[in-house]
Structure 1
Amino acid sequence: MNIASKRVLITGGSSGIGLALAEAFLARGARVAISGRRPERVTQALDELTAKGFAAHGIVADVATSEGRAATLDQALAALGGLDILVNNAGGVRAGRLEHTPESEILAMIEVDLVAPILLTRAALPALRASGDAVVVNVASGIALIGAPFYATYAGVKSGLARFGEALRRELKGEGIHVMTAYPAGTDTPMMASNRAGPELGFSREPASAVADAILEGIESEAFEVIRGGDARAQMIALNRSDPAAIDARLLALKPALEEAVKDHSAL
């Protein structure tokens, strides 16, 4: 796909990977709308893009609600005149032991990380079909490929998002809409600010711009998936398939330190 002049909607586009994606798309000549639920953060993001010589359309809405999804799509279509690329990037996380995680926080992760992208994609399909050359990008997580302790719900919903994307890709094959899944590893974003785990616990961090560039390269090459984390992550993924007990043993040794480091990790 040639990204120039494409009309792009990025949910959760006011910070982190979403904002980096907005800048990367704009640098390649796309037209971009970003959505976020915090008015001040959307304004700040637009100002940051303007300072770099870019112009995007900002939408203040919560895609975890039906009203927010409708407003997001309606405003994006009005501003862009159609839609070629939908990036389901908005997400939330709450780490910790499952039995200590409030039901409200579990439901919040399910709503924003899984229900919202499914329903927003469903609503956007007519506009994407009208494009004739469209892409849906679902931003999952490396934890969807290797389940980590204290992230049970997050792993569940991100894995669900990945399989949703895989099934939808096959459902839409030959109909002018491609579906790609991205699996970021640890990324230096506001969402990770309350996570104190470092590389020794499997949480290395790369710049959001590196993830954004990889996602755009995946779109351009019509890739099925983009997996970050390098050779070390690829080896862990392979080992998780061939000998999952080995991963269990490795994580067992890290459990006490990991639980302490992620107990306050919350971005909902």
Structure 2
Amino acid sequence: MSGRLQNKVALITGGGTGIGAAAAERFAQEGATVVICGRRADVLEAKVNAIRNNGGRADWVRADVSDEAAFAQAVEATVDKQGRLDILVNNAAAATWGMIETQPTSEWHACFRASLDSAFFGTRAVLPHMKHQGGGAIVNVASVCGLLGTPGMAAYTAAKAGLINFTRTAALEGAGSNIRVNVVIPGVVMTPWAQEAHGTEAAMAATARGVPLKRIGEPRELASAILFLASDEASYITGAGLVVDGGKTCELVPGAADFTD
């Protein structure tokens, strides 16, 4: 690897599995000291050990990022231990299922708390540190569900749409302090959550057929997009949304990209 994040310190939420774990691995390969944050200590510790065994620098901090005090404490603990914080990846999220007319208000709020409020909590907590050190990069992880409607997922789609626009405002507020804020917008990705949601291999295959590239994305492919926006290679990019969905959201008519007989 080229050391694109050499001597940087990065905090990644939801870093134990899926896209967050892939980003943590890739960041460490590029020279960053990676701190992964989540609720399950055993999962976090296992991922940190795997990164260290491959020669990377990593640590973990346990916190429920939907709890603003806990997230703020995780940020302070990271800065105290590492001496600085250059990159924040707001990756943690939670989805709730249910049609609007029957969904409990508590589930709506829980989804927003984990998927949108947490990004606000984390951004608010890191901004003073990044301003003090002369800059930084924040990468939020949204979803194509924030661009298009999805029946049965009103809370998740609304939260992710909010995250996309929150990114733009945060970018404007951070620009004067050399703090860049961008958002990666994944389509369907082969994560434990996606596998559980689909339930069967047949369902996964059907989803893949509906993607113009005819496959489901891999976490490492999202990690590459997150890495780019976090690195100095994206030094003139802020307030941007990078869609990584195999072409799904650029297709007006489903199946129009299928030219097979």
Q: Does the TM-score normalized on the shorter chain lie above 0.5?
A: yes
Give me the whole-angstrom Cα distance separating, in 1, the residues matched to 2:103 and 2:52. Answer: 40
Partner SS state of residue 62, structure 1: coil
Q: What is the TM-score when the length of structure 2 is the normalising length? A: 0.84
- Aligned amino acid, residue 200 of structure 1: A
Mapping of 1:172-191 within 5 angstroms? Answer: 172-191=174-193
Distance apart, 1:191 and its partner CA: 1.9
Name the counterpart of 1:104.
106
Give me the whole-angstrom Cα distance separating, in 1, the residues matched to 2:51 and 2:179. Answer: 28
Partner SS state of residue 57, structure 2: coil
Mapping of 1:140-155 within 5 angstroms? Answer: 140-155=142-157
Q: Deviations over 1:215-242 (max 9, x none)?
A: 2123333242221113x32423xx4xxx
- Please, which of 157, 160, 176 is the counterpart of residue 159 of structure 2? 157
Name the counterpart of 1:262.
none
**CA RMSD between the two structures:** 2.1
Percent identical? 32
Cα contact 1:114–1:157 (8 A) shared by 2:
yes
Give me the whole-angstrom Cα distance separating, in 1, the residues matched to 2:26 and 2:197. Answer: 26
Distance apart, 1:194 and its partner CA: 1.9
Partner SS state of residue 196, structure 2: coil
Give me the whole-angstrom Cα distance separating, in 2, the residues matched to 1:106 and 1:113. Answer: 11
Name the counterpart of 1:235.
250
1:16 matches 2:18: yes
Cα contact 1:65–1:116 (8 A) shared by 2:
yes
Give me the whole-angstrom Cα distance separating, in 2, the residues matched to 1:167 and 1:70. Answer: 20
Q: Deviations over 1:13-56 (max 9, x none)?
A: 11111111111111010111110111111122112223323231
Give me the whole-angstrom Cα distance separating, in 2, the residues matched to 1:78 and 1:21. Answer: 23
- Aligned amino acid, residue 70 of structure 2: G
Distance apart, 1:200 and its partner CA: 3.2
Distance apart, 1:2 and its partner CA: 4.6
Give me the whole-angstrom Cα distance separating, in 2, the residues matched to 1:225 and 1:80. Answer: 29
Mapping of 1:174-213 within 5 angstroms? Answer: 174-196=176-198, 197-198=203-204, 200-201=206-207, 202=210, 205-213=216-224
Distance apart, 1:82 and its partner CA: 1.0
Name the counterpart of 1:254.
none
Worse overlay, 175-184 or 131-140: 131-140
Give me the whole-angstrom Cα distance separating, in 2, the residues matched to 1:91 and 1:178. Answer: 21
Partner SS state of residue 126, structure 1: helix
Give me the whole-angstrom Cα distance separating, in 2, the residues matched to 1:37 and 1:69. Answer: 11
Distance apart, 1:148 and its partner CA: 1.6
Structure 1 unmatched ranges of 5 or more:
240-245, 251-268
Distance apart, 1:199 and its partner CA: 5.1
Cα contact 1:215–1:226 (8 A) shared by 2:
no
Give me the whole-angstrom Cα distance separating, in 2, the residues matched to 1:154 and 1:37. Answer: 20
Q: What is the TM-score when the length of structure 1 is the normalising length? A: 0.82
Cα contact 2:33–2:56 (8 A) shared by 1:
no
Q: Deviations over 1:81-140 (max 9, x none)?
A: 111111111111122322333332221111011111102211211111123231111111
- Please, which of 225, 229, 241 is the counterpart of residue 218 of structure 1? 229
Mapping of 1:1-150 within 5 angstroms? Answer: 2-150=4-152
Name the counterpart of 1:166.
168
Give me the whole-angstrom Cα distance separating, in 2, the residues matched to 1:77 and 1:114. Answer: 23
